[in-house]
Amino acid sequence: MSTLRQAIYGIALLAAIALLIWGQSQRIEVAEQKTGRAQDAAGTALARATRSEERAARLQLFLQEERTAQTVLRGMQDQLRQGLAARQRTIEDLKRENAELRLWADQSLPDAARRLRDRPAITGAAAYRDWLSGRGALHPVGD
């Protein structure tokens, strides 16, 4: 009986080892699947991060171009202000020097010119369109 018992213990031991090996293979399979999903997720995250970095670089370049354009526009604005100030000084100098020009500059504008400069307070595109269409049409020079 002892031999039979040893044989049963041996078979039980082999069955336990086989069950342990099968369980380990199942765990390995699950781990490999998880690893594959994790690698896919990592690849997706890496691609998304790369796209984000490229977008950020493009936006940075766009921002730099905008800043450069703003700098150029500020320079042009300063030049225009300086030119306007110089013209105003020239006009004032000419008024002081020339009495005829001073009298002409002090006169009020003619009615036609004053009407061209007369505008109501406009608050929107529709109001501007109504104001434009409500004004009388200008007549040709020959009439």
Is residue 59 assigned to a domain? yes
Average pLDDT, the chain: 87
Residue type, 74: R
Is residue 84 assigned to a domain? yes
Closest C-alpha to 106, from 87, 89, 86, 92: 92
Is residue 121 assigned to a domain? no
Question: Which residues have a Cβ under 8 Å from the Cβ of 47 and sit 6 or more positions away?
Answer: none
Instruction: Assess whether pLDDT exceeds 90 at residue 133.
Output: no
Is residue 128 assigned to a domain? no
Q: Based on the structure, what is the number of domains in the chain?
A: 1
**Distance (Å, rounded) from C-alpha 81 to C-alpha 79?**
5
Is residue 52 assigned to a domain? yes
Is residue 28 assigned to a domain? yes
Is residue 123 assigned to a domain? no
What is the per-residue pLDDT across 51-72, written as a single tens digit (0 to 9) for each?
A: 999 999 999 999 999 999 999 9
What is the per-residue pLDDT across 5-25, written as a single tens digit (0 to 9) for each?
A: 898 998 999 999 999 999 999
What is the per-residue pLDDT across 72-82, written as a single tens digit (0 to 9) for each?
A: 999 999 999 99
Is residue 135 assigned to a domain? no
Tell me which residue range forms the domain holding 95. Answer: 2-108
**Distance (Å, rounded) from C-alpha 87 to C-alpha 76?**
16
Residue type, 42: A
Name the pTM for this structure.
0.46
| Range with lowest mean pLDDT among 27-36, 47-56, 122-131 | 122-131
Count of C-beta atoms within a 10 Å radius of residue 101: 13
Max Cα distance, the chain (Å): 144
